[in-house]
Amino acid sequence: MYKSISLLPDSSLLKPEFTFGVATASFQIEGARDKRLDCIWDTFCEKPGAIADQSHGDVACDHVARWQQDVEMIADLAVDAYRLSISWPRVMQQDGSVNEQGMAFYVQLLTALKARNIKTYVTLYHWDLPQYLEDNGGWLNRETAYKFKDYAELVTQHLGHLVDSFATLNEPFCSAYLGYEVGVHAPGIKSQQAGRQAAHHLLLAHGLAMQVLRKNCPSTEAGIVLNFSPTYPLTEDDKKAAELADQYHNQWYIKAILEGAYPSLLDDLADEVKPIIIAGDMAIIRQAVDFIGVNYYTRIHYKNTADGWFEEASLTDVRVTDMGWEVYPQGLTELLVSLHQQYDLPKMYITENGAAMADTLENGEVNDIERVDYYHTHLNAVCDAIRQGVNIQGYFAWSLMDNFEWAYGYEKRFGLVYIDYQSQQRILKESAKQYRALLKQR
């Protein structure tokens, strides 16, 4: 177990041009629900049994009220950059006009970060779809992709000059598969066809927003953030299951974006499951991107099913995080190298990587040594991938602070900073101190 985060002296990550940051998402930290429109997560939180601890995002980390303190905290960590997301229902009214108060919040926040020389990596969509759009079909409605284009237009007009890097979507896999196919995330729909259709419309939205970003912010880099859980066969006989799962969960998104096509698995799906794809859609989706953000937490093993499909298989006797996810740092190296071999990649950022641990606050301190070890091993896994030729230019720890962990509510803590939800006190964990120490010695 590593008790500090260290890199070899010749590590590419220590070069001045490599970007280190921390990341958050709007719904998970902001609170101030009364100052914005409802989103699909507000509604989902009201469903009995949807959230593990029956909580919601009404207050969360109270970031809208405490943003100045939080900016100081980010600056204190010695990071180069902060990755955040804009809340669509906070900045835009139902009639398409700007919510002045909501937009002013982001102007102040981004301006304060700029004043401290902290680069801003802004995600346009981190899952908080306005509820009025869901009432009209949400991501199953093709029109939502065009509404997203309008939203991108509004944000770039007001905030474009303050942003260093734009990502269109965060993890469209989660929005589509978890939200519309298996229903464990908002809006809670369970339908394979819905999952495939939502995925297509999300990618269409990405392509349309990329066009807006190129037009309105031609000198600002723009891309997308995708999550990957590399797939491994449980036994030698399960290779087909791992391959199918990889196409369905991982390659579905990156292949469409970089090559304008879905994996061959699409042809094998039943006709009633296939998404409706209109002529010209794949060309819109395949906009040139300046970067791909990679979110990595763990790998997943798969086994064949009797009907020739795949299902997850869990390993016993492996180290896991508080989410039950295997700690497997070399999976990050293997993922990055495989993507590098498979595609003509733009530059890459590790936009999320981190671990939920069962943190305890004792005498005002959180000694999260397992998380320190996680960061040490995964940062070195990034170094290994760079040595093998992958162009990785930044790393963002997930997350800056403990927050609303979606269907798990406040039961799971991913933060470098501990949040006491009763007092809203922010307490730097040992991992935050170690991360800061690494960054300060560059």
Q: Kindly report the CATH number assigned to the domain that includes residue 167.
A: 3.20.20.80
Structure tokens at 110: 């981004």
Residue 134 falls in the annotated catalytic set: no
Please check if 424 is assigned to a binding site: no
Match 């401290």 to its residue by tokens. Answer: 116
Please check if 201 is assigned to a binding site: no
Of 79, 83, 85, 84, residue with least CA distance to 19: 79
Angle at 101 between CA 37 and CA 81, to 5 degrees: 95
Residue 352 falls in the annotated catalytic set: yes
Q: What is the pLDDT of residue 271?
A: 98
Q: What is the pLDDT of residue 4?
A: 97
Which residues of the chain register pLDDT less than 50?
none
What is the tens place of the pLDDT at every residue in 48-80? 999 999 999 999 999 999 999 999 999 999 999
Pairwise CA distance, residues 375 & 330, whole Å: 12
Q: What is the pLDDT of residue 53?
A: 98
Tell me if 128 is assigned to some domain: yes
Q: What is the pLDDT of residue 334?
A: 98
Please check if 28 is assigned to a binding site: yes
Query: Helix, strand, or coil here: 273?
Result: coil
Please check if 117 is assigned to a binding site: no
Residues β-bridged to residue 122: 84, 166
Alpha helix stretches (DSSP H) within 129-264: 131-134, 143-159, 172-173, 192-216, 239-245, 252-259
- Is-contact 155 68, C-beta < 8 A? no
**Domain around 80:** 12-440
* Alpha-carbon separation of residue 422 from 56, 61, 198, 428 (angstroms): 14, 10, 37, 17
E strands, 211-319, are: 221-227, 231-233, 291-295, 300-304, 310-313
Tell me if 6 is assigned to some domain: no
Max CA pair span of the chain: 62
Tell me if 5 is assigned to some domain: no
Tell me if 266 is assigned to some domain: yes
Please check if 430 is assigned to a binding site: no
Tell me if 3 is assigned to some domain: no
Pairwise CA distance, residues 393 & 380, whole Å: 14
Q: Which residues contact 120 (CB under 8 A, 6 or more apart)?
A: 81, 82, 84, 110, 113, 114, 162, 163, 164, 165
Residues β-bridged to residue 428: 417
Give CA 106 to chain center in angstroms.
Answer: 19
E strands, 277-413, are: 291-295, 300-304, 310-313, 347-353, 392-398
- Is-contact 230 331, C-beta < 8 A? yes
The DSSP string of 352-363 is EE--------BT
Catalytic residue among 30, 134, 171, 430: 171
Pairwise CA distance, residues 33 & 30, whole Å: 8
What is the tens place of the pLDDT at every residue in 132-157? 999 999 999 999 999 999 999 999 99
Q: What is the pLDDT of residue 363?
A: 97
Q: Which residues contact 276 (CB under 8 A, 6 or more apart)?
A: 197, 200
Tell me if 136 is assigned to some domain: yes
Please check if 56 is assigned to a binding site: no
Pairwise CA distance, residues 300 & 25, whole Å: 25
Catalytic residue among 30, 181, 221, 352: 352
Tell me if 235 is assigned to some domain: yes
Query: Considering its fold, how many domains does the chain have in total?
Result: 1
Buried b (16+ CB within 10 A) or exposed e, 280-305: ebbebbbbebebbbbbbbbbbbbbbe
Burial tier of 22 (Cβ tally within 10 Å: 0-12, 13-18, 19+)? buried
Please check if 374 is assigned to a binding site: no
Buried b (16+ CB within 10 A) or exposed e, 140-163: bbbebbebbbebbbbbbebbbebb
Buried b (16+ CB within 10 A) or exposed e, 87-115: bbbbbbbeeeeebeebbebbeebbebbee
Tell me if 285 is assigned to some domain: yes
